[in-house]
Homo-oligomer: A and B are copies of this chain.
Amino acid sequence: MFYGYFNGTIAPTDQLAVGITDLGLLRGYGLFDYFLTYNGRPFQWDWYWARFQNSASRMHLKLPLGKDETYAIVMKLVERSNEAISKTGKATPTDVGIRFVLTGGYSADSISVEKPNLLILAEMIHPVPAIQYEQGIKVILDEYVREMAEVKSTDYKRVILMAEAIRAARASDILYQKGGEISELSRSNFFIVKGEKISTPDRHILHGITRKTVMQLAQSDFQVEERPVLLSELYDADEAFTTSSTKKILPITQIGELTIGDGHVGPKSKFLLERFDELVKTW
């Protein structure tokens, strides 16, 4: 059983509910963030908090809690969730996903923001199947660019609309491009490897914390570039991968009909994943 926090109350998540005049529900006016704990500690807490704060400010929503208060709540949710799980006799998962959701709050006229609603949820982590790390994933291309991509808003209509097309292509996700310029996957960032260069798009993207971590980790062994990445570069890229909190560094071996490199997971993606795993092991 997992615990969550909603506007001052901590309770099992299945007992939490949001009233029906919430602007997140009625008007899609919401933002969120999501990170994992490693060894019971929030990964890259300072960076995630800064991003959440920035999203809130960009959407003109006042955060009802400060950084330290929020950290204390996160740690309490981790503790409560683990206590409840250990009582059931199941092995305690030391680590959880933490989701923040901040909406425009309840609105009498269904449009004006009065006071934001803040949810903080501890969740079970849904890890990527091991076979995907061994074989890499397939993604399909989609001519699209997210509105306000740099704000982690709750707007994920596009990927849910595309779910059937993704399934039909036996793919795992979509890669957005517009006019030949790649931005990001539906919920993760994109990188290509060519020789000793690692490149990742610099605009129309959410600035991923795992992306930032990987860029830091790669710096001593590679030339890391943030710049527009074009579709045409996929044809002679050695490797491609995607990064997110749950995906870590996940190799992409096929994009639409195009095979990346020789179609197998490349050594540089593997190397970076090893470096990442080392980092989180001692977090």
Q: List residues of A whose CB falls within 8 A of some B CB.
A: 4, 6, 13-14, 16-30, 32, 59-60, 99, 101, 103-104, 109-113, 119, 121, 123, 126, 147-148, 153-157, 159-161, 163-164, 187
Contacts and interface: CB of A to CB of B under 8 A. Distances in A.
A154 B19 contact: no
Contacts of A155: 27-28, 155, 157
Total copies of the chain: 2
A109 B99 CA distance: 12
B18 A101 contact: no
20 contacts: A13-B20, A17-B18, A18-B22, A18-B25, A20-B121, A22-B25, A24-B25, A25-B25, A26-B101, A27-B155, A27-B160, A28-B30, A28-B153, A28-B154, A59-B161, A60-B161, A99-B110, A104-B160, A111-B160, A113-B160
B157 A28 contact: yes
A19 B25 CA distance: 11
Contacts of A110: 99, 123
Given A30-B28, A153-B28, A155-B28, A23 B160 contact: yes
A6 B26 contact: no
Nearest to A4: B20
A111 B156 contact: yes
Contact of A101 (B25, B29, B101, B111): B25
Contacts of A19: 14, 16-18
Nearest to A155: B28
A21 B153 CA distance: 16
A242 to B, nearest CB: 15
Contacts of A160: 23, 27, 29, 104, 111, 113
A165 to B, nearest CB: 11
A2 to B, nearest CB: 11
Contacts of A25: 18, 22, 24-25, 30, 101, 103, 154
Nearest to A13: B20
A95 B161 CA distance: 36
A64 to B, nearest CB: 17
Nearest to A104: B160
A113 B99 CA distance: 19
A110 B159 CA distance: 12
Contact of A29 (B112, B119, B157): B157
A27 B157 contact: yes
